[in-house]
């Protein structure tokens, strides 16, 4: 038996339903797009509905497996001019995704890629958050964004001899910002998280263990993650893996 996924946009004048779309019984969900606080975000909300319908179960399968139940039967996406966390383009909390309507108007790239990152946080649904795991949580969300949605992930960074990013442009805003700041990534650079960590994770997947993202996600979801998870999964410590990754990233520059 198949059930429908209903998308509803909540606007100041009332509820406007979209036509139902199908989904498998155990993957059925409702998505509510709320623009009541930012009516001018309606265009962005309309662009979001198909994205959310497609990617909520897809991300779930990437992180867990196709039969793993969705963490929530309903996702609520709220568009607001400014978020509680000022300066943030979006944030996820429980089954809610909050998006700054003012920020996305001026984003240099496609706001939907950012929403894939935040939607991944909803799918992660880590009940037990461990200390020192923040970089990995963000790295996995960006890994999903860049490998599966934007399809621009690379197996190494471009690092100079000092361990600093080089050769990036504003097209890669996170890399470019760290490059302009002259940040050295030699020592535990994975703590910079986001696209730095996602590149590292992709390298681990490519060079050490093709199942490592799934395995790390599982230990995070069980509240069992620690840095000791890396030698258990790969036979090398986290810092040993990072040092090897940095060395290969420096070779990327010398090869050109």
> How do residues 101-147 score in pLDDT, each as one tens digit?
888 888 756 789 999 999 999 999 998 877 789 999 999 999 999 99
Domain contains 222 = yes
The answer on 6 and 119 residing in a single domain is yes
Is the pLDDT confidence value at 19 over 80?
no
Q: Choose one of 124, 153, 172: the last residue of a domain.
A: 124
pTM of the model: 0.88
Angle between helices 194-207 and 238-254 (to 10 degrees): 90
Per-residue pLDDT, averaged over 194-205, amounts to: 98
Is the pLDDT confidence value at 26 over 70?
no
Q: Are strands 30-34 and 7-11 parallel, antiparallel or unpaired?
A: parallel
The answer on 219 and 163 residing in a single domain is yes
The whole-angstrom separation of Cα 255 and Cα 152 is 20
* Reported confidence tier of residue 18, pLDDT bands at 50, 70, 90: very low
The answer on 73 and 150 residing in a single domain is no
The whole-angstrom separation of Cα 231 and Cα 238 is 7
Whether the Cβ atoms of residue 42 and residue 86 lie closer than 8 Å to each other? no
Extract the runs of DSSP E, i.e. beta strands, from 12-67. 14-17, 21-24, 30-34
The whole-angstrom separation of Cα 156 and Cα 68 is 31
pLDDT computed for residue 106 by the predictor: 80
The whole-angstrom separation of Cα 102 and Cα 15 is 23
Is the pLDDT confidence value at 209 over 60?
yes
The residue ranking higher by pLDDT, 1 or 223, is: 223
The answer on 22 and 110 residing in a single domain is yes
Is the pLDDT confidence value at 8 over 90?
no
Residue 161 three-state SS: coil
Q: Choose one of 76, 92, 124: the last residue of a domain.
A: 124
The answer on 32 and 141 residing in a single domain is no
The answer on 180 and 73 residing in a single domain is no
Q: Which two tokens stand for residue 46?
A: 């309309």
The answer on 197 and 158 residing in a single domain is yes
Domain residues for 221?
Answer: 134-254
The whole-angstrom separation of Cα 220 and Cα 212 is 12
The answer on 103 and 26 residing in a single domain is yes
The answer on 43 and 111 residing in a single domain is yes
The residue ranking higher by pLDDT, 106 or 7, is: 106
Domain contains 129 = no
* Reported confidence tier of residue 30, pLDDT bands at 50, 70, 90: confident
Is the pLDDT confidence value at 45 over 50?
yes
Domain contains 89 = yes
The answer on 145 and 75 residing in a single domain is no
| Domain count within the chain | 2
Whether the Cβ atoms of residue 179 and residue 169 lie closer than 8 Å to each other? no
The answer on 143 and 92 residing in a single domain is no
Domain contains 39 = yes
Whether the Cβ atoms of residue 140 and residue 216 lie closer than 8 Å to each other? yes
Radius of gyration of the chain (CA): 19
pLDDT computed for residue 12 by the predictor: 41
Q: Choose one of 89, 104, 124: the last residue of a domain.
A: 124
pLDDT computed for residue 2 by the predictor: 30
pLDDT computed for residue 28 by the predictor: 67
pLDDT computed for residue 249 by the predictor: 97
Per-residue pLDDT, averaged over 204-218, amounts to: 97
The answer on 142 and 115 residing in a single domain is no
Chain segment 52-98, per-residue pLDDT in tens:
989 999 999 999 998 999 999 999 999 998 886 667 889 999 999 99
């Amino acid at each position: 038996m198949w059930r429908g996924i209903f998308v509803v946009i909540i606007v100041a004048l009332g509820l406007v339903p979209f036509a139902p779309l199908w989904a498998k019984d155990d993957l059925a969900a409702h998505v509510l797009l709320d623009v009541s606080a930012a009516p001018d975000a309606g265009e962005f909300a309309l662009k979001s509905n198909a994205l959310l319908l497609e990617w909520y179960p897809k991300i779930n399968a990437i992180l867990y497996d196709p039969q793993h139940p969705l963490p929530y039967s309903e996702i609520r996406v709220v568009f607001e001019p400014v978020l509680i966390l000022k300066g943030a383009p979006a944030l996820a909390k429980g089954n809610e995704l909050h998006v700054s309507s003012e920020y996305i108007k001026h984003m240099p790239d496609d706001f939907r890629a950012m929403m894939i990152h935040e939607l991944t946080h909803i799918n992660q649904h880590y009940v037990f958050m461990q200390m020192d795991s923040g970089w990995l949580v963000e790295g996995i969300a960006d890994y999903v964004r860049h490998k599966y949605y934007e399809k621009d992930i690379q197996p190494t960074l471009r690092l100079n001899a000092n361990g600093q990013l080089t050769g990036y442009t504003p097209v890669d805003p996170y890399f470019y910002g760290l490059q302009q700041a002259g940040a050295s990534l030699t020592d535990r650079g994975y703590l910079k998280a986001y696209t730095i960590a996602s590149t590292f994770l992709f390298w681990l997947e490519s060079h050490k263990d093709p199942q490592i993202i799934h395995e790390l996600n599982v230990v995070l979801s069980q509240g069992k993650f620690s840095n000791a998870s890396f030698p258990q999964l790969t036979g090398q410590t986290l810092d040993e893996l990072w040092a090897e990754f940095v060395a290969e990233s420096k070779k990327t520059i010398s090869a050109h």
